[in-house]
Amino acid sequence: MSGGFLDQIFVSTKHWLLSLLVGAPEWMTQIASSLLSISATLGVFLALFALMSLLERKILARIQNRLGPNRVGPFGLFQPVADGIKMLIKEDIVPARADKVVHFLAPIMVAAPTILALGVIPYGRNMTPFAIDGGILFFFAVGSATELAVFMAGWGSNNKFSMLGAMRAIAQMVSYELPLIVSVLPVVMIVGSLSPDAIVDAQSGYSLNVIPHWFVTTPWGAASFLLFFIAGLVESNRTPFDVPEGESEIVAGHMTEYSGFKYATFFLAEYFGMFAISGLAVTLFLGGWHAPFAFLQFIPSWIWFFAKLGVLLFVFIWIRGTLPRMRVDHVMNFAWKFMLPMAFACVIAAAVWHYQARHLAGWLWSAAIVAVVYFTLSRLLETRKRFAPRTYRFAE
Amino acid sequence: MNIAAFIVIAIVTLSGALAAALLPRLIHAALWLVVTFFGIAAFYFLLGAEFVGLVQVFVYVGAVAVLIVFTILLTRRDADKDHAFHWSGAVVAVAVFAALVWTILRTPGLSVAASPVEALTVRRIGEVLMTDYVWPLQCIGLVLTAALLGALVLVMEEKR
Amino acid sequence: MTTTLQLVLIVSAVLFSIGLLAALSRRHAIFILIGIEMMLAAANLNFVAFWRFAPQPQPPTGVMVAIFAIAIAAAEAAVGLALVIAVYRHYRSTNVDELDQLKG
């Protein structure tokens, strides 16, 4: 199955559009090709952003036994449009004591890396907008620029809540970047490549015609997928790790002094970051655009990718509707004392799996390693004692 | 190699560096330094060493710049005070620059254009790291661990 | 006109001199660190440029040195900034001209 008509429809459309440019110099074709890829990616994700902002409110409402937005258009479908217009015509307030240039640049700097990061993800067969040899490294390299942008937002606003929120956000993002990257290492090690396309290719095929060769089906893969997902939650500042914008303590963190369209840009960056992290999780652990069962391969590859992406995004919303916000020190302790050792255990488990010829023995051994480290850590950290029901005594 | 791209990147990088060296406010200097780092990464891309460019962005923008910014915040009471500017340093810098340029212009055989090169893949770098450079790699690991511990010990609160 | 090795070397010489200017002229400790980072980056640029403009095929020695130098620079920045913080805690100053005592 190497691509039916529907599977390659976008690729063929692009080639057809480029063939209209026949006779043009090479650099023109190159620019046109990049522009097409960029606008297609941006268009799809902007549409997904609009849809997601509505769906999130709808699903949260359902979780909380409400109806959610249902006034604008059928089922409230035009709510994102109304929100967009509202954001555009709001007054743009800049604090008098703010560092104007930094304050202005911060939202752009927050949004740009997430958009760049979306470029290296393979959305379907032959559908990687920016195929680069070190794609995974590119993803994290541009992602690390976000921290600086958050700092710019906090410092440029010249407000203590902004600054505190930015400090919290940076501390949390720096701490969780380590487990995030280390949990990617096993996959990179097993595949032997940093290119997302090669990683997706390595996950093709099915055992017994049923079980897909996705990395999430191996013990180390499942463990590092969970670690990656949790770290991804933190990196995109989502509940339960949204301490940087804890309303009850520091207003809205680094976004306190932003209004109107600049605030919308932060919002967009948060969602795009979520898309990018989920897309990378799909690519690394959930088989990218491969179908879950061999007999379902007739469905186009990009549908599979976006279906998996949708499931992950739903989990994001579900967690937001279910879990309360964590305390700052708990968040940091969790990163250094639990996530990081677990991620290293996954690296070792993956190596064992590989050297046991990737068979049942390797499967059991790596499962044993992950389990032993997990239980040792929970003993050492006395999780049972620490998270036992507590009795509070009020001051009299 | 594209001369137009080279000139644009050179202008961005060097103006960023100049701003980082001369601006009075420390935070602005640090942010301009980030521009310089990005420019140098772009140079690496232009020179065909994509991996180094990515590592440059990853380490400098993601780690060093954030560290610098954090330090500025922790020592903030002192950040905006007017520190003296030593003009003797400028004289030395100009002298060094003149010497360097004189040497570069006088050396024969430097005006070579780049010959076509096969792309330096990540796989190749990995192989070289694990074969020829395995001892330097281990040493770097040790140095980084030592630096981590040393930095921690240095900034730990003094017990009184 | 194409890019030549000479041009890259001149750019990195300018960068090195600007770094030197920052390290020698500014009195704030963090500016000195910024200057050192710039000088290191200029040296790295030279390594990669010499690798690129050498007769090909060439083992990637220059690239390797650049990668190792970046790692060392990260360690240097971490320790240097920790020193700045420690000094600031002790003297309440980051002006290197005021740090002229031999006793702690």
In a domain, C103, yes or no: no
In a domain, C104, yes or no: no
The structure tokens listed for A361 are: 């023995």
Segments of chain C scoring below 50 in pLDDT: none
In a domain, A286, yes or no: yes
A152 has pLDDT over 60: yes
By percentage, how much of chain A surpasses pLDDT 70? Answer: 97
The structure tokens listed for A179 are: 């487990």
Of A365, A334, A360, nearest in space to A220 by CA: A365
**H or E element: which one contains A206?**
strand A206-207
| Contact criterion met (CB < 8 Å) for B62 and A144 | yes
A112 and A55 belong to one structural domain:
no
In a domain, A370, yes or no: no
Under a CB-based contact definition with an 8 Å cutoff, are residues A291 and A252 in contact? no
Highest mean pLDDT (candidates A14-23, A28-37, A270-279, A319-328): A270-279
Under a CB-based contact definition with an 8 Å cutoff, are residues A320 and A154 in contact? no
**Residue C28 phi/psi, 5° resolution?**
-85, 135
A59 and A102 belong to one structural domain:
no
Q: What are the beta bridge partners of residue A212?
A: A206
Under a CB-based contact definition with an 8 Å cutoff, are residues A314 and A51 in contact? no
A234 and A294 belong to one structural domain:
yes
Under a CB-based contact definition with an 8 Å cutoff, are residues C34 and C22 in contact? yes
**H or E element: which one contains B127?**
helix B122-130
A99 and A40 belong to one structural domain:
no
The structure tokens listed for A173 are: 């993002």
Range of the domain at C86: 5-98
Give the side-chain half-sphere CA count within 13 A for A394.
Answer: 1
| Contact criterion met (CB < 8 Å) for B61 and A134 | no
Which of A303, A329, A355 is the endpoint of a domain? A329
Distance CA A245, CA A208 (A): 48
The structure tokens listed for A210 are: 């049923």
- Helical H segments across A254-300, by residue range: 260-285
Give the model's confidence band at B146: pLDDT under 50 very low, under 70 low, under 90 confident, else very high.
very high
Distance CA A68, CA A276 (A): 26
Question: Which residue of chain A comes nearest to B41, CA vs CA?
Answer: A141
Strands A206-207 and A211-212: antiparallel
In this prediction, residue B2 carries a pLDDT of 78
CB pairs under 8 A between B and C: 262
A292 and A162 belong to one structural domain:
yes
In this prediction, residue A15 carries a pLDDT of 77
In this prediction, residue A194 carries a pLDDT of 87
Burial of C96 (0-12, 13-18, 19+ CB in 10 A): middle
**CATH number of the domain within which C12 lies:** 1.10.287.3510
A251 has pLDDT over 70: yes
Give the total number of structural domains in chain C.
1
In a domain, A257, yes or no: yes
Please indicate whether residue A282 or residue A14 has the higher confidence score (pLDDT). A282
Q: Which of A8-12, A216-220, A269-273, B41-45 has the lowest mean pLDDT?
A: A8-12
Q: Which residue has the tokens 């960068």?
A: C15
Distance CA A232, CA A276 (A): 9
In a domain, C49, yes or no: yes
Give the model's confidence band at A1: pLDDT under 50 very low, under 70 low, under 90 confident, else very high.
very low
Cis? peptide before C57, omega within 30° of 0: yes
**DSSP assignment letter at A192:** T
By percentage, how much of chain B surpasses pLDDT 70? Answer: 92
Give the total number of structural domains in chain A.
2
pLDDT tens per residue, range A4-44: 777 777 777 877 877 777 777 777 778 888 888 888 888 88
Burial of B118 (0-12, 13-18, 19+ CB in 10 A): exposed
A23 and A127 belong to one structural domain:
no
In a domain, A352, yes or no: no
A222 and A205 belong to one structural domain:
yes
| Contact criterion met (CB < 8 Å) for B129 and C64 | yes
A58 has pLDDT over 70: yes
Which of A57, A81, A105 is the endpoint of a domain? A81
A261 has pLDDT over 60: yes
The structure tokens listed for A134 are: 């070190």
Segment B74-94 shows an average pLDDT of 74
Q: Residue A143: its chain B contacts at CB < 8 A?
A: 62
| Contact criterion met (CB < 8 Å) for B34 and A148 | yes
Distance CA B23, CA A326 (A): 40
Distance CA A117, CA A114 (A): 5
Segment A262-277 shows an average pLDDT of 88
In a domain, A22, yes or no: yes
In a domain, C80, yes or no: yes
Burial of A254 (0-12, 13-18, 19+ CB in 10 A): buried
A104 and A75 belong to one structural domain:
no
In this prediction, residue B83 carries a pLDDT of 63
Give the model's confidence band at A197: pLDDT under 50 very low, under 70 low, under 90 confident, else very high.
confident
Q: What are the beta bridge partners of residue A206?
A: A212
A290 and A223 belong to one structural domain:
yes
In a domain, C74, yes or no: yes
**What would you measure as the largest C-alpha separation in chain A, in angstroms?**
86
Q: Residue B55: its chain A contacts at CB < 8 A?
A: 137, 141
Distance from CA of B110 to the nearest CA of C (A): 5
Q: Give the best residue of C33, C63, C85, C96 to mutate against chain B (max B CB count within 10 A).
A: C63
A248 and A217 belong to one structural domain:
yes
Stated pTM of the model: 0.86
Range of the domain at A272: 90-329
In this prediction, residue B142 carries a pLDDT of 93
A136 and A70 belong to one structural domain:
no
In a domain, A70, yes or no: yes
Which of A329, A360, A391 is the endpoint of a domain? A329
Q: Residue B143: its chain C contacts at CB < 8 A?
A: 71-72, 75
In this prediction, residue A130 carries a pLDDT of 82
Distance CA A208, CA A228 (A): 28
**Residue A24 phi/psi, 5° resolution?**
-75, 155
**H or E element: which one contains B97?**
helix B87-106
A33 and A135 belong to one structural domain:
no
Q: Which residues contact B157 (CB under 8 A, 6 or more apart)?
A: none
Distance from CA of C101 to the nearest CA of B (A): 19
Q: Give the best residue of B57, B154, B158, B160 to mutate against chain C (max C CB count within 10 A).
A: B154
A112 has pLDDT over 80: yes
pLDDT tens per residue, range B50-71: 888 888 888 888 888 888 888 8
